Amino acid sequence: MGEIFSVTSGKGGVGKSTVSVGLALAFSQQNLKVLLVDMDEGLPCLDLMLGIEEPCIFTLSDILLGKEISDTVYKPKKYPNIHLISAPENTGMIDAFAFTNFVNKVKQLYDIVIFDFPAGIDFSLYTCLPKESLFLTVAFPDPVTVRDASVVSRKLYGMGYNSRLIINSFRYKLSKKQIFKNIDQIIDESALRLLGIVPQSEELTLLSVKHKLNPQGNAMKSFQRISKRLLGDNIPLPNPKKI
Ligand SMILES: Nc1ncnc2c1ncn2[C@@H]1O[C@H](COP(=O)(O)OP(=O)(O)O)[C@@H](O)[C@H]1O
Ligand SMILES: [Mg+2]
């Protein structure tokens, strides 16, 4: 039975799609079969990040209308262990019953399923996910997006879901300044549980051009650590200088 992770955030543009792909790469390197589901209607991007050249004609909407999952997934040439389902045309039109069935099916087919949700406060589809699935709330290392993440996490908790915080775009130089004291405080006050920290990196900015990450680079290493924690390993946070 596969694990389900849903990537979300309070604010847009904080790196949800980047984190979704980074984690998919890290899980696939551990020989796990990964399904990425792009839920960002109108703004799909995971195909670009994974280097899928063919146009993604079929989407989640087709599966929910009865098309076979195996005929609807896109397979990046470089990553045989990763399959992608493209974003539905209109998430507002998604039938909750069909979506729940879809989630139950893909759980049987894949080791890891990652939903890349859009930012915001439309939580209607979340209730279709099994209660044991985990939400990954992404924020930048600034008090505003961390506070937004804490609002989302609290709401999820009220719905019966656990979530973990991923801080994206971390820069050591800034960490010395006052700003990080504020973040620590917000994390403490909000009872957010920190899962991992992803560095700001040129490699990640260029992901949709190069479609790969250096396995020895700091970005990939951060995704490897986070993926292992998600699989239950106890991996301590490194020295901030090395993130
Ligand atoms: N850690 C990072 N370092 C550098 N650039 C990043 C990082 N994370 C995200 N980006 C860039 O920021 C932009 C928004 O990221 P994206 O993953 O699309 O955010 P979201 O899915 O939350 O809207 C993209 O251009 C991406 O390349
Ligand atoms: Mg996105």
131-174: pLDDT as tens digits: 999 999 999 988 888 889 999 999 999 999 999 999 999 988 77
Query: What's the pLDDT band for 181 if we cut at 50, 70, 90?
Result: low
Cβ of 15 less than 6 Å from ligand 1: yes
Please report, as a single letter, which amino acid is at residue 211. H
Q: How many other CB atoms sit within 10 Å of the CB of residue 124? A: 11
pLDDT exceeds 90 at position 203: yes
Distance (Å, whole) CA 90 – CA 135 = 22
What are the C-alpha distances in Å from 87 to residues 62, 109, 115? 10, 19, 10
Does 239 map to a domain? no
User: Quick check: is 237 in a domain?
Assistant: no
* Half-sphere CA count of 76, side-chain side, radius 13 A: 27
Give the confidence band of 177 by pLDDT, cuts at 50, 70, 90: low
**Residue 182 pLDDT greater than 70, yes or no:** no
In a domain, 189, yes or no: yes
For residue 82, tell me if it sits in a domain.
Answer: yes
Determine the distance separating the centroid of ligand 1 and the alpha carbon of 210, expressed in angstroms.
Answer: 14
The number of C-alpha atoms within 13 Å of 239 and in the hemisphere containing its C-beta is 2
Q: Please, are residues 1 and 48 in contact by the beta-carbon 8 Å criterion?
A: no
In a domain, 15, yes or no: yes
| 14 Cα–ligand 1 center, Å | 6
| β-pairing verdict for 34-38 and 112-116 | parallel
Please say whether the beta carbons of 31 and 125 come within 8 A.
no
Which residues span the domain enclosing 136? 3-232
State how many domains the chain has.
1
Residue with token string 């250096």: 214
d(CA 147, CA 190): 8
Mean pLDDT (whole number) for 20-44: 94
More confident residue, 238 or 53: 53
17 Cβ below 6 A of ligand 1: yes
Residue 241, in any domain of the structure: no
The CATH number of the domain where 113 resides is what?
A: 3.40.50.300
Could you tell me if residue 243 is inside a domain?
A: no
Is the CB of 198 inside a 6 Å radius of any atom of ligand 1? Answer: yes
Shortest-distance Cα residue to atom 16 of ligand 1: 15
Alpha helices in the chain (DSSP H): 16-29, 46-50, 60-64, 96-109, 143-158, 172-175, 178-190, 202-205, 207-210, 218-230
pLDDT of residue 77: 95
Tell me the whole-structure pTM to 2 decimals: 0.96
Residue 242, in any domain of the structure? no
Rg (CA), the chain: 17
